[in-house]
């Protein structure tokens, strides 16, 4: 694998980590698993990580097919996805849970679900619209090369691993960082996502309207 390929994968992994933001979701994980035994809490963490890996893997390989099926150009999806990420980033900068990730009804139903690792933690809190959009665009940029698309599973696996480790260590991380520390991390991730979203929209608009950004 060339150095540039490694750089692209590293950039994709960091961007995906910022979007998924497992550290920022820790308070919601602790709330959703309140009253769980240690074994049940770790099972929920494992299930959330598996869900993230499965959902993002699915859209990595099937995303382009979906765009082709609906006749959507990657450039148009890039603009729409960038706008979606920008809305997510604005919520994160304010240290709030974006409605894109979890609606009020989903929050109220969280305690009623046995498999909280799947819903709402895995989907839509972690593998939500922002992460799915990022993987579809990243896969589309590989020019349909199966080998390159398969390489994108490395960032997906690393982020899923980070989810599992973060949730397993959630009580200790929450004690160390506190609410203020977690909010600081979330805001920093939000700023990074905002910059990524602007780049996505600029790239998409440049492809849709070649003379616009000349």
pLDDT tens digits along 64-119 = 888 889 998 888 888 888 888 888 888 888 876 666 555 555 555 544 445 788 98
For residue 24, being part of any structural domain is answered with no
Number of compact structural domains in the chain: 1
Q: How high is the pLDDT of residue 20? A: 93
Neighbours of 206 (CB within 10 A): 16
For residue 125, being part of any structural domain is answered with yes
For residue 25, being part of any structural domain is answered with no
Average pLDDT, the chain: 83
| Structure-model confidence comparison of residues 162 and 129, the more confident one | 162
What are the tokens at 70?
A: 């609906």
For residue 113, being part of any structural domain is answered with yes
The sign of the dihedral angle between the CA atoms of 133, 128, 183, 8 is: negative
Q: How high is the pLDDT of residue 112? A: 45
The closest alpha carbon to 24, from 86, 112, 104, 101, belongs to 101
For residue 214, being part of any structural domain is answered with no
Q: Which helix (H) or strand (E) holds 92?
A: helix 74-93
Q: How high is the pLDDT of residue 126? A: 92
pLDDT at 12 over 70: yes
pTM of the model: 0.80
For residue 52, being part of any structural domain is answered with yes
Distance, in Å, from the CA atom of 24 to the CA atom of 18, rounded to the nearest integer, reads 10
* Domain interval for residue 199: 3-17+38-208
For residue 46, being part of any structural domain is answered with yes
Distance, in Å, from the CA atom of 164 to the CA atom of 178, rounded to the nearest integer, reads 20
Least confidently predicted of 14-23, 110-119, 147-156: 110-119
Q: Concatenated DSSP letters for 11-79?
A: HHHHHHHHHH-TTTTHHHHHHHTTT--HHHHHHHHHHHHHHHHHHHHHHHHHHHHHHHHHT--HHHHHH
pLDDT at 2 over 80: no
């Amino acid at each position: 694998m060339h150095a540039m390929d490694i750089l692209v994968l590293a950039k994709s992994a960091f961007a995906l980590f910022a979007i998924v933001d497992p550290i920022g979701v820790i308070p919601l994980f602790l709330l959703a698993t309140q009253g769980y035994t240690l074994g049940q809490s770790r099972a929920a963490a494992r299930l959330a990580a598996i869900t993230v890996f499965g959902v993002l893997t699915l859209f990595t390989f099937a995303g382009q097919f979906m765009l082709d099926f609906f006749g959507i150009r990657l450039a148009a999806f890039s603009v729409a996805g960038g706008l979606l990420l920008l809305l997510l980033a604005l919520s994160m900068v304010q240290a709030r849970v974006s409605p894109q990730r979890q609606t009020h009804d989903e929050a109220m139903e969280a305690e009623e679900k046995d498999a909280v690792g799947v819903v709402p933690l895995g989907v839509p809190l972690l593998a939500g619209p922002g992460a799915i959009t990022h993987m579809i665009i990243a896969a589309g940029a590989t020019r349909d090369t199966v080998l390159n698309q398969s390489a994108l599973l490395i960032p997906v696996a690393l982020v899923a691993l980070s989810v599992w480790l973060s949730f397993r260590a959630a009580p200790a991380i929450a004690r160390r960082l506190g609410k203020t520390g977690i909010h600081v991390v979330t805001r920093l991730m939000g700023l990074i996502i905002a910059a990524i979203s602007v780049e996505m929209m600029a790239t998409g608009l440049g492809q849709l309207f070649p003379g616009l950004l000349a």
